[in-house]
Chain A
Amino acid sequence: MEFTSAEVFAQQVLNGLSNGMIIALIALGYTMVYGIIELINWAHGDLFMLGGFLALTILGALGLEEASGPMAVVAVLVILAASAGFCGTLNVLADRIAYRPLRRAPKVSLLVTAIGVSFIFVNLGLFWGGVPMEVFSGGIAAAAPKDFPALVPSRNLLGTDDGVGFTLRDLLVVVVTLPLMLGLWWLVARTRLGKAMRATAQNPTAARLMGIDVDRVIGSTFFLGGALAGFASVVYALYNNTIGFQMGYRAGMDAFTAAVLGGIGSLPGAVLGGLLIGLIRAMSDQYLEARWTNALVFAILILILVFRPSGLLGMKQREKV
């Protein structure tokens, strides 16, 4: 097949946007938690990784690796719900056990604790990969990447094999991530919980004076952010057909960069940043060289932190009392 350069470019834009939506979903969890307790949740990417492991475990346990047609749809829905619930709950537990006792401590203590939680999660993933199940290669080579069942075929929805491909998997990304983003926006903008979250972020003392149970609101924020990472992990696994205990590191770095690029604390910023990082990655893979891509993302992170720490949509300065 011969692709014209315009087709190649269009294809990379599509790939970039699909990956960008997944990155954005993870970035939302970073930005929500940062917005409410000013914690850079170092463990967030690794939470995402564990979501993928849970999904694979469930598929293996229920014998759904080969599911197709309606069964595949059911399987996808089951692992989406399970991973979201699992990651949300795990994030709440991390807050309860590790972060809540440090509410009045310096922010550095909180960050170091999050790095510790990250280590725990990564090693949990490593251990999990060694579980003697068929889906984990029978428990041999725990650290090796695991194949994730291709429940969603990569059939091109635009017709034939050549030209630009918008596959069923790209559609999956849109169908899962877009409603979640809109739902999150509605929740934060319109609901009682959303207003309590914003009030707590803006002035926790005043929030308590309003009768808001601040710890519960923070817990809910951790749950929502974690659940989004859980959804993202399933979409990622179905999109790429592979998971591994180290995948949280790169995904986390991409998503964190996206959150900072968009303006950490800003929800629209996280989505914009995610899409931009997705596009930049795709373009770098295509026109630069794939091995430079991670370095490029890292360079972007450093440049923003140095020259525009408030990001594209972030507040110039935070009016914290």
Chain B
Amino acid sequence: MSEAPVLLELRQIRAGYGPVDVLFGISLEVRRGEIVCLIGANGAGKSSTLMCISRINPIRGGSIWFDGADVTAERADRLVPRGLAQVPEGRRIFPRLTVLENLEMGAYCRSDADGIARDLEGVFRMFPVLRERTAQLGGTLSGGEQQMLAIGRALMGSPRLLMMDEPSMGIAPILVSRIFEAIAELRDRGMTILLVEQNARAALRLSDRGYVLETGRIILSDTGASLLASPKVREAYLGE
């Protein structure tokens, strides 16, 4: 796995909000075909890291490399056609667009009608409930359905790297397992995924590698299995 070329690399990323620094030199890499997870307590800076990668949040230092190119100065909307997608924390679906329109927005940067139709079919196969709800407004879906919509919407961009921020947060347990199944399905299809999860155990089981973030610093990184076995992780993040 580790011989695959690096798709995403963060070098010493520093960032913050107003006068407050929250990331103090984050370095990590995601290789093609890998599932990498980022775990950490509330407020550790996981979402901030993803928002920096998507270039929604400004960066105060360091650099970001995507597919061999320095994208530190790239605009958010230009990263999407390069193949970067994010399922953001809290889902952020468009509440007054229909389910179908939400999915169409995911393909905003594409013009290959055939490919879009194929991916739409793929999303419907993965989440059949969305097919039944195409004309319904996004805001009227249940939380779990909204999460599926948010994942489907990101997949509609045909991304090369899919970042997911706590996809299992605030959803019924039955749907949580459906979401993790979907992630496993994507992994089996060769999708590269950077996953942020509260549910560290389930996330680490799925992941090739993981990073542990603590107050804006990476304090540990290893394979998913080793992290699952690590006493420190077991104590702090697996509640043992």
Cβ of B11 under 8 Å from chain A: no
Name the residue on B nearest A214 (C-beta): B77
Pairwise interchain contact A319-B76, C-beta atoms closer than 8 A: no
Pairwise interchain contact B54-A206, C-beta atoms closer than 8 A: no
Pairwise interchain contact A202-B76, C-beta atoms closer than 8 A: no
CA distance A198 to B104 in the complex (A): 13
Which residues of chain B come closer than 8 Å to A211, judged between CB atoms? 77-81, 108-109, 157
Q: List 13 A-B contacts (CB under 8 A).
A: A195-B101, A202-B97, A203-B92, A205-B88, A206-B88, A206-B94, A210-B105, A211-B77, A211-B81, A211-B108, A212-B105, A212-B108, A321-B90
Pairwise interchain contact B95-A213, C-beta atoms closer than 8 A: no
Q: Which of B35-88 contact A (CB under 8 A)?
A: 54, 56, 75-81, 85-86, 88
Pairwise interchain contact B92-A209, C-beta atoms closer than 8 A: yes
Pairwise interchain contact B93-A213, C-beta atoms closer than 8 A: no
Q: Contacts A211-B77, A211-B81, A211-B108 given; indicate if A202 touches B88 (C-beta within 8 A).
A: no
Pairwise interchain contact A209-B88, C-beta atoms closer than 8 A: yes
Which residues of chain B come closer than 8 Å to A207, judged between CB atoms? 105
CA distance A319 to B86 in the complex (A): 21
B interface bracket (residues with beta carbon within 8 Å of A)? 20 to 34
Pairwise interchain contact B77-A212, C-beta atoms closer than 8 A: yes
Residues of A within 8 A of B (CB): 192, 195-196, 198-199, 202-203, 205-214, 319, 321
Q: Which of A202, A209, A321 contacts B85 (CB 8 A)?
A: A209
Q: Which of B54, B90, B95, B104 contacts A209 (CB 8 A)?
A: B54
Which residues of chain A come closer than 8 Å to B75, judged between CB atoms? 213
Known: A208-B76, A212-B108. 5 other contacts (CB 8 A): A195-B104, A203-B95, A206-B92, A211-B79, A213-B77
Pairwise interchain contact B95-A319, C-beta atoms closer than 8 A: yes
Shortest Cβ-Cβ A-B pairs, 7 listed: A211-B80, A206-B92, A211-B109, A208-B76, A202-B94, A213-B77, A210-B105
Name the residue on A nearest B93 (C-beta): A206
Cβ of B139 under 8 Å from chain A: yes
Report the minimal beta-carbon distance from A53 to chain B, rounded to whole angstroms. 37
Name the residue on A nearest B92 (C-beta): A206
Q: Which of B88, B90, B97, B139 contacts A195 (CB 8 A)?
A: B97
Cβ of B152 under 8 Å from chain A: no
Q: Contacts A206-B92, A211-B108, A212-B108 given; indicate if A198 touches B97 (C-beta within 8 A).
A: yes
Report the minimal beta-carbon distance from A202 to chain B, rounded to whole angstroms. 5
Pairwise interchain contact B92-A199, C-beta atoms closer than 8 A: no
Pairwise interchain contact B56-A208, C-beta atoms closer than 8 A: yes
Q: Which of A198, A203, A205, A210 contacts B108 (CB 8 A)?
A: A210
Pairwise interchain contact B105-A321, C-beta atoms closer than 8 A: no
Cβ of B33 under 8 Å from chain A: no
Name the residue on A nearest B107 (C-beta): A210
Report the minimal beta-carbon distance from B54 to chain A, rounded to whole angstroms. 6
CA distance A198 to B154 in the complex (A): 18
Pairwise interchain contact A209-B86, C-beta atoms closer than 8 A: yes
Q: Contacts A210-B80, A210-B106, A210-B108 given; indicate if A198 touches B94 (C-beta within 8 A).
A: yes
Cβ of B118 under 8 Å from chain A: no
Which of B90, B95, B153 neighbours the largest number of chain A CB atoms within 10 Å of its CB? Answer: B95
Cβ of B96 under 8 Å from chain A: yes
Which residues of chain A come closer than 8 Å to B94, judged between CB atoms? 198-199, 202-203, 206
Which residues of chain B come closer than 8 Å to A203, judged between CB atoms? 92-95
Name the residue on B nearest A198 (C-beta): B97
Report the minimal beta-carbon distance from A224 to chain B, rounded to whole angstroms. 19
Which residues of chain B come closer than 8 Å to A209, judged between CB atoms? 54, 56, 76, 80, 85-86, 88, 92, 154
Report the minimal beta-carbon distance from B20 to chain A, rounded to whole angstroms. 16
Which residues of chain A come closer than 8 Å to B56, judged between CB atoms? 205, 208-209
CA distance A208 to B80 in the complex (A): 9
Q: Which of A192, A198, A205, A214 contacts B92 (CB 8 A)?
A: A205
Which residues of chain B come closer than 8 Å to A213, judged between CB atoms? 75, 77
Which residues of chain B come closer than 8 Å to A198, judged between CB atoms? 94, 96-97, 101
Which residues of chain A come closer than 8 Å to B97, judged between CB atoms? 195, 198-199, 202
CA distance A213 to B157 in the complex (A): 15
Report the minimal beta-carbon distance from B136 to chain A, rounded to whole angstroms. 15
Q: Which of B91-124 contact A (CB under 8 A)?
A: 92-97, 101, 104-106, 108-109
Which residues of chain A come closer than 8 Å to B93, judged between CB atoms? 203, 206
Report the minimal beta-carbon distance from A250 to chain B, rounded to whole angstroms. 33
Name the residue on A nearest B91 (C-beta): A206
Report the minimal beta-carbon distance from B57 to chain A, rounded to whole angstroms. 10
Name the residue on B nearest A209 (C-beta): B86
Name the residue on B nearest A315 (C-beta): B96
Which residues of chain B come closer than 8 Å to A208, judged between CB atoms? 54, 56, 76-77
Which residues of chain A come closer than 8 Å to B95, judged between CB atoms? 202-203, 319
Report the minimal beta-carbon distance from B104 to chain A, rounded to whole angstroms. 7
